[in-house]
Chains A and B, each alone.
Chain A
Amino acid sequence: MLLFLEQVLNGLQLGVMLFLLAAGLTLVFGIMGLINLAHGSLYMLGAFLCASALAASGSFVVGVLAALAGAALAGLVIEASIMRRLYARGHLDQVLATFGLILFFNEAVRIVWGPRPLFVDIPGALAGTVEILPGAPYPLYRLAIIVAGLAVAAALWWLVQRTRLGMLIRAGAADREMLGALGVDSRHLYAGVFTLGALLAGLAGALAGPLFAVQVGMGENILILTFVVIVIGGIGSIRGAFAGPARRPGRHAGPRLPADGAAHW
Chain B
Amino acid sequence: MRQSLITLMLVLATALPLGAGAADPVRIGMITTLSGGGSSLGVDVRDGFMLAVEQGDGRLGGVPVEVLVEDDGRKVGRAVQIAQRMLQREDADIMTGIIWSNLALAVVPRVARNDTFYISPNAGPSQFAGKDCHARYFNVAWQNDNLHEAMGAYVSDQGHETAYLLAPNYPAGKDALAGFKRYYEGEVVGEVYTKLGQLDYAAELAALREAEPDSVYFFLPGGMGINFIKQYAQAGLKEQTPLFGPAFSFDEGILSATGDAALGVINSSQWAIDLDNAANRQFVEAFQAKHERRPSLYASQGYDAARLIASALAAVDGDVDDARAFRAALEAADFASVRGGFRFNHNHHPIQDIYVREVYRTDDGTLSNRTIGKAFEDHADAYAGECGLSPVGG
> With A119-B257, A121-B259, A213-B227 in contact, do A7 and B206 touch (Cβ < 8 Å)?
yes
A residues 172-231 touching B (CB-CB < 8 Å) = 211-213, 215-217
Chain A residue numbers with a CB within 8 Å of B231 are 139, 211
> With A6-B209, A110-B35 in contact, do A117 and B234 touch (Cβ < 8 Å)?
no
> Are A212 and B200 within 8 A (Cβ)?
yes
Chain B residue numbers with a CB within 8 Å of A162 are none
Contact of A52 with B by CB under 8 A:
no
> Are A115 and B35 within 8 A (Cβ)?
yes
In the complex, which of the residues A122, A129, A251 contacts B203, with contact meaning CB atoms closer than 8 Å?
Answer: A251
Chain A residue numbers with a CB within 8 Å of B227 are 119, 211-213
> Are A215 and B203 within 8 A (Cβ)?
no
- The residue in chain A whose Cβ has the minimal distance to the Cβ of B258 is A119
In the complex, which of the residues B43, B209, B234 contacts A116, with contact meaning CB atoms closer than 8 Å?
Answer: B43
> In the complex, A34 Cα to B371 Cα: how many Å?
59
- The residue in chain B whose Cβ has the minimal distance to the Cβ of A13 is B202
Chain A residue numbers with a CB within 8 Å of B329 are none
> Are B236 and A115 within 8 A (Cβ)?
no
> Are B206 and A116 within 8 A (Cβ)?
no
In the complex, which of the residues B34, B35, B234, B257 contacts A129, with contact meaning CB atoms closer than 8 Å?
Answer: B234
Contact of A39 with B by CB under 8 A:
no
> With A10-B202, A216-B36 in contact, do A119 and B223 touch (Cβ < 8 Å)?
yes
> Are A115 and B36 within 8 A (Cβ)?
yes
> In the complex, A128 Cα to B43 Cα: how many Å?
33
> In the complex, A115 Cα to B34 Cα: how many Å?
7
> With A115-B39, A121-B259, A216-B36 in contact, do A139 and B206 touch (Cβ < 8 Å)?
no
Contact of A170 with B by CB under 8 A:
no
For the residues of B in contact with A, the DSSP-based class is: helix
In the complex, which of the residues A7, A14, A128 contacts B234, with contact meaning CB atoms closer than 8 Å?
Answer: A128
> Are B234 and A139 within 8 A (Cβ)?
yes
Contact of A108 with B by CB under 8 A:
no
> Are B37 and A215 within 8 A (Cβ)?
yes
Least CB distance, B35 to chain A, in whole angstroms? 3
Contact of A48 with B by CB under 8 A:
no
The interface size bin for chain A is 20 to 34
> Are B209 and A216 within 8 A (Cβ)?
no
Contact of A58 with B by CB under 8 A:
no
B residues 221-237 touching A (CB-CB < 8 Å) = 223, 226-227, 230-231, 234-236
> With A115-B36, A216-B35 in contact, do A10 and B259 touch (Cβ < 8 Å)?
no
> Are B236 and A117 within 8 A (Cβ)?
no
Chain B residue numbers with a CB within 8 Å of A3 are 206-207, 209-210
Contact of B40 with A by CB under 8 A:
yes
A residues 31-75 touching B (CB-CB < 8 Å) = none
> In the complex, A211 Cα to B203 Cα: how many Å?
13
Contact of B199 with A by CB under 8 A:
yes
> In the complex, A215 Cα to B257 Cα: how many Å?
14
Chain B residue numbers with a CB within 8 Å of A7 are 203, 206
Chain A residue numbers with a CB within 8 Å of B236 are 128-129, 137
Least CB distance, B106 to chain A, in whole angstroms? 21
> In the complex, A251 Cα to B257 Cα: how many Å?
27
> In the complex, A142 Cα to B223 Cα: how many Å?
20
Chain A residue numbers with a CB within 8 Å of B35 are 110, 115-116, 216
Chain A residue numbers with a CB within 8 Å of B209 are 2-3, 6
Contact of A242 with B by CB under 8 A:
no
> In the complex, A138 Cα to B236 Cα: how many Å?
8
> In the complex, A211 Cα to B257 Cα: how many Å?
13
Contact of A141 with B by CB under 8 A:
yes
> Are B36 and A217 within 8 A (Cβ)?
yes
Subset of 10 A-B contacts with CB under 8 Å: A116-B39, A116-B40, A119-B223, A128-B236, A141-B234, A213-B226, A215-B36, A215-B37, A215-B223, A216-B36
What 5 new A-B contacts, CB under 8 Å, besides A2-B209, A129-B236? Answer: A10-B206, A115-B35, A116-B40, A116-B43, A139-B202
Task: Kindly list the 7 A-B residue pairs having the minimum CB-CB distance in the complex, ordered from nearest.
Answer: A115-B35, A6-B206, A3-B210, A10-B202, A119-B257, A212-B199, A129-B236
